[in-house]
Structure 1
Amino acid sequence: MASPLHKLLLPLLLLYSSIQLCFTIDTITTTQSLKDTDSITSQNGTFKLGFFSPPETSNRFLGIWFNKPVISIVWVANRDTPIEDNSGLLRISENGNLELLDGSNTTIWSSTNGLNISKLSTQAQLLDTGNFVLIQSNLTDSITDPNIIWQSFDEPSNTFLPGMQPTFPDTPNKNHVIFKAWKSENDPSVGNFSVGIGTAGLPQVLTWNNGVIYWRSGPWDGNNYIGLPNVDNTLNDGFVLDIEPKTLAMKFAPEDASLLFNYVANYDGLVLENYWDDGVKNWTVGWLAPSSKCEVYGTCGLYGSCDHDKSVCKCLQGFEPKNLDEWKRGNWRDGCVRREKLQCGIQGGDQDGFLRLQTMKVPDNIEKRSAFSDDGCRSQCLNNCSCLAYSYHLNIGCMVWSKDLIDTQQFSAGGVDLFLRLPSSELDEGNSHKRIAVIVSVTVVGATLVVFFMFFLWWRRGRTRTQQGKKEETKKFSFEDNVGQLGLQEPPLYTFDVLRNATDDFHEDNKLGEGGFGPVYKGVLKDGHEIAVKRLSRSSGQGLEEFMNEVTVISKLQHRNLVKLLGCCVEGDEKMLVYEYMPNRSLDAFLFDPVNLELLPWEKRFNIIEGICRGLLYLHRDSRLRIIHRDLKPSNILLDEDLNPKISDFGMARIFGGNQDQANTRRVVGTYGYMSPEYAMGHFSEKSDVYSFGVIVLEIVSARKNTTFHRYEQSLTLTGYAWKSWNEGNVDSLIDPMISEPGSRTSVKRCIQVGLLCVQEFAKDRPNISTVISMLDADIEQLPQPKKPPFTEWEVSSEDQQSSSVFSNSVNDQSITAIQGR
């Protein structure tokens, strides 16, 4: 008969055994080897380590894979030395290393690390990241305070996992191979293709085929790889380069940590982004490169450019095929040659010039130069006869090319401006072609207008419907036709019922706010996707023109600092715009709210200033359209979950022509307090947006609204008070007291000076937005002294002082159209 003590000890022993089993399921110890039939699983069940055989072979390999119904191998230990039977054994050796043995006790693979450690002090663990680590630990602390002496992340095979951080010295003209593809789909031995980082010129991701470049991402600018098409939509899941002094590191951290992501160097030369789709229970390719033959390195040869959308090569202007017969057959590898020699260095020759090529993937063999502006970069290239082309990118600086241009592409969006050096005769020819094209275009357009006018007269004469109801019906169809004429495949047209259901019949609880256009509601689509729905109010001063303008403009723009338009709705009198949902609403909800303001330390505020700047730079210079926003203010700056800014509300925006610097308008639109003086008189340019940005900068620094400034401070506006404080050497009185981070004062004062430079009275005195970014990043060390802004001060009377409290409580923040409130 069991004693009471035995009855008590038996459950405790069982519990202890189960706890030990839980702790060792992801671990190999000195007393627990891993046989071919065994496996270990990471603590959260994501990864498994064990032996496997690829299809069509009985060879055995030790590897790590995602623990999913569809296996995806992410690491292989003995990839070039397979075990021919099931005799494999993984254990910790006498010197404390991992070793893989075959049936004859021959070491097939080991984690040799140059150390000779006591066997009793090491153990191996498969972590939840997929990293297999060898740990040195004492017997009392177990692995609570581990010292990793080897890890599989330091010896990757063909897969890049989140958490990996391959690091190497930033050595000029050095190739760092990181991932090596399998030889074939069923053979994990090292194949022909490899992926890594090349540092010739500027760091970029490269794929090599037997050591020869097969594909390249283009340079890393700190945010994106600028050689990828549609750069804002690619590699946006945390695949980045971290460039530190003398060190390069490749990092991968998806925005959604719950998703299973990886990048694979495939056996056929493709770099694949894979993610697990729970809906279909399989792995899905989210992105791949090269995605077309255009992206294969050097497809068009020297001085050839590949049209990414059409996958067709053409010679750059001023060049012709080197081998015309082969070129016509589609064999473009011989490339192109100049039609006429450059004139630089030739006595009596005309000066060379530059042809601007837009939305380009820059050629390989980049040489970086020190220049603070586009003009400085141009001057350096023009004065150097060996310089064949240049490009200026704000985040990178001046790039020049003195070697033959290769691997150039023409994108439909994204890319950069490339300035190609040509003799003046080639530039003149290009201009004559353009003049001919303009004449032909004008003739065709004129003839079309005449036909259209005649048709309009015929239609008007035959019109017989006079009832008001039929007029409304005609209006409805006219509006829908206009939307259809945009030719938008994306964003889609939503039905009214879909948006009504998503917003719970536009319930007041889902209302996010209301502007001049109308109310904005939060909605949730059937698939769980959150959206923001802007519904045109029937009493709004805006209508078809502003609605169409916003759809037309923003649907063609893609940038991380611009709000994304998902679609629109047009049914009867209903006009709605559907945007991505911004959980933190707008900047003014934080900046002018004492509670939310605590969530905006200076680092966040400066990040918001820079983000607005980069959004404006894209609108003014880098997008395929040239956009002037015309209504920039804090309520039109939306914040995502990380408080990153996104410019919104493009109903008042205007598109400029390529050579257009300024324009006139009969309808002055914007918001009091943010409008530049010349714009209030009907003239606008990109400097009008710069003025509005300057006001916002001063508001961010001071946490005070420009349009509700107090009269008793003897300043009409915040800009006037900032100017007064600057002249008196008392800018500390302007700074929000909540900005208290150590060392922030220098950056804050620089922003005040930049803000004042942006709000100078005359547009010609204000910097353009690219110069503003250089000022903020301290690329320009010595900033010019600002001049007096407009609307600075007034004489204060006793009545003004008595009414100051009434004035200070104003919350007027409405945009205006034709100098009328709306």
Structure 2
Amino acid sequence: MYSLDAAGGWAVTWAAVKQPCSVHGLCGKNAVCEYQPSLRCSCVPGYEMVDRRDWRKGCNPTFSLPAANCSASSEKRFTFVKVASTDFYGYDVGYNSSVTFEYCKSLCLSMCSCAAFAYKKDGTGQCYPKGVLFNGYTSPTAPGNIYLKVPSDLNAEAPPPSMALDCTLNGSDAAIDPPTYVDTYGALRSGPNLSYLFWFAAVLGFLELLFAATAWWFMSGQESMPSSLEAGYRLVMGTQFRRFTYRELKKVTGDFNEVLGRGGSGVVYRGVLDKTTVVAVKELTNVLQGEEEFWAEMTVFGRINHINLVRIWGFCSEGKHKLLVYEYVENGSLDRHLFGEDNSKALAWRERFKIALGAAKGLAYLHHECLEWVIHCDVKPENILLTRDLDPKIADFGLSKLSRRKAVGDGVQLSQMRGTTGYMAPEWVLGLPIDAKVDVYSYGIVLLEILMGSRITEQRTVDGKERLQMSQIVQALEQVVASGDVVSLVDSRLNGQFNPRQAMEMLKISLSCIMEERSSRPAMDDIFKALIACDDEDEHPAYLL
């Protein structure tokens, strides 16, 4: 909002966003936003402005990084420039906790896609390699420093170019200065045009009275939660992300009375919005982030929308209370249908293939299509929910960023990891950096269980005395592929009613997913393409052997 000052010039007296640096992409790529005291954008060392008239175009590097052989003599060819009290939110190409600074540095050196890394020296040893330098900001309260990857021979000591972001109207400068918005109201005094001041004061006074009356009415009606909250619930019906109060969710769930399920990340309760809409309310445990970081993660979750992902409708963050509100998925989790004892309710082959295809599609979206790269870290049948039509929806994605982890030497304590025994990739145990291939491994196990109708961890020797090790299972599966006889492997409850070509393709994909060397595992989008290639849904055949 602008108003005339005493000299007849325009001044900013109010703004909807009081911290413009939090606006996505305000300063463009490879640039940081800061207040000095007015809003200012500047290129990071080693970069230069693309267009001085438009900061949204960001900065370009004055050097080039090779696209291959990044690990060869990287320490000699590259160095890191420290930019203190600075961070770039999002676009991480990995995440590691409880690691040393030198380990984080060497990790970035070995990654072709790593342009910089953020490291928090607060005792947690959190390392964030960055693939893209976007949403940069500098602040004395920033949790750590950013270290830019540049060639060793680059002179990055010169001060980076910068420019204040000012608004100019009719030739008069009106600098946007977020820390002094309140003070600017006091700058309004008599000037050459008093009518503007009069009308501005009148409108402002009316808005203040309206706000006070609305606040009083809202607070007075909190006990009964009448129609004032129903409007908020209708926003959820319009798929708009919103924040709930703990008091609201306590009433919605009937004081957290009906438990739908329990897991490593928290307890899920049944709730009802607007007297008709059933929701699932998850009370999170072991949340590491503070209020501001938790809000930032929620803004990312709120933008994720895919037919094969459980939709998050909102959240609550009040002190120790951290809760998520999900859409309710009618048919429960896959494990109840896949491992149930009632043979008459066993999933048909067409339904199994549809579930495998949909789960792959959802994970491919998280890995390759999201604005920010998301790793699930706990893919298992319990986290694949089924709709009324048995379409799959993946739940609990993104919660790995909110989980508390504890250090054990150079690794991570397994009881605090995002993972379940039997579905965890070898990287977890070996303490290696975690990437999307851990989800690929877990998906491979789930795919095998869909095929076989039983848990991999329950496979036993012929005499039934000992459980098979993973290496023994892989060896047996390879023999099935070599012989081409997949009949003995498919769930016997199907009574031979399945598609042999699809079953063999699922088996081959599973074997490629559970390779011990993660570089040998396929990407989720390749898995989805392989499955869709053998989907003969258009023909609708009778799946008979």
TM-score, normalised to structure 1, is 0.33
Higher strand share: 1
The higher relative CO (CA closer than 8 Å, separation ≥ 6) is in 2
Larger Rg: 1
TM-score, normalised to structure 2, is 0.48
Higher helix share: 2
